[in-house]
Amino acid sequence: MSEVNDRTPVVVAGRRSPIGRAFKGSLREVRPDDLAAQVVRAVLRDLPAEVVPDIEDVILGCAQPAGEAGYNLARVVGLLSGLPSAGGVTVNRYCASSLQAVRMAAHAVQAGAGASYVAAGVETLSRYVNGGADSGELNAAFAPAADHTARCLADDAEWHPGTEVGDVYVSMGATAEFVRRREAVSRRDMDEFAALSHARATATRDAGLETAAMVPVELADGTHVTRDDGIRPDTTADVLASLRPVFHPRGEVTAGNSCPLSDGAVALVVMSEGRAGELGLEPLVRIVDSVVTGVEPELMGLGPVPAVSRLLARNGRAIGDVDRVEINEAFAAQVLPCARRLGIDPARLNTRGGAIALGHPFGMTGARLVLSLAQTLAADDLTTGVAALCVGGGQGMAVLLERV
């Protein structure tokens, strides 16, 4: 482990909401600002009172910061959470938005710009209006790439570079089908991976391993949501095999081997290890390093491969040195080839289940992976973890964590 340094960024506390299914799920009536504020208030209650005036900034990830999630959502959430003297900034890196929030907090600590930050994330797809933020006219510069994508889909062809500029507007479902074709991922393997995600999430829930981090979300009628909506204990590969493809009539990516659309929020407190020591706090994990990379937008799902590879190389690590890995389960079609390319032991990957079972609120997921890794390393008495995501528009992001 690295030596304690006043400017070493650590996570000292973390909480998350249950994850609701979008549109018909348990959190559909909860505004994003109210949802995030309930989680931020809960994580602050876990810490000494002197932490509150210490918070320099509320950095909040949201993939669609419009409508109710507009108005610089981070500042709104900060005020609702009792942090009037802290700043607030909303960041968007799509699926890695809250991981970007964690990264920004870590960088600020390393730079000595402040000692304590809230790094949070929220997404409530149930509350999107008119497509959310991404509802404007598309830039015509990307039209040739979109035509190329359409031809590859129509011909059931493997995607190949056809234009100088990638199809930044390509649908995520199309990217999953392209990755599946290129990487020769079988339908059976995808369905078995999806069933495993549900089985692991079920075992985690039944063992009460998420209880400490879960914030019961209060609804308008005074009742509370205390469980994730999406986990299906009776899911099997054979059941999933009966589902039809959803993104291409002759495809193999289905609703069952993809993550569902979801609502949820998460909040972490990131501070310097020196300040944590002054407050008598025991950090959950150190944030060692983070990496972001770009990939072809049409092969978005492979983004974790260069991100994790660069992260490990930069820190003199090999994948065998990593005790646990979390790769966001946007689609089984992309997690499986990422794991294969990186050489990840399946027994070390997403051991508590992932987004296929839990759901994937875009702005929440990155920091949720950090929290899940911190819990897993502690519960299993392990040291090192990596969390990674593919990101819409063709990016990958990864973070290296060490248990303190």
Please give the C-alpha separations between residue 120 and each of 58, 95, 117, in angstroms, as whole numbers: 8, 13, 10
Alpha-carbon distance 228 to 359, whole Å? 8
Q: Which of 95, 152, 259, 338 is catalytic?
A: 95
Q: How far separated are the first and last CA of the chain, in Å rounded?
A: 8
**Do the Cβ atoms of 121 and 127 come closer than 8 Å?**
no
Q: Which of 62, 148, 198, 360 is catalytic?
A: 360
Q: Has 95 been annotated as catalytic?
A: yes
Contacts (Cβ under 8 Å, ≥6 apart) of 51: 44, 116, 269, 271, 279
How many beta carbons lie within 10 A of that of residue 318, not counting itself? 9
Q: Has 152 been annotated as catalytic?
A: no
Q: Which of 62, 152, 338, 390 is catalytic?
A: 390
Pull the structure tokens for residue 12.
């000292």
CA 249 vs. chain centroid, Å, equals 29
Closest CA to 73 of 31, 39, 41: 31
Q: What one-letter code names the amino acid at 263? A: D
Q: Has 198 been annotated as catalytic?
A: no
**Do the Cβ atoms of 288 and 389 come closer than 8 Å?**
no
Q: Any idea which residues carry the catalytic annotation?
A: 95, 360, 390
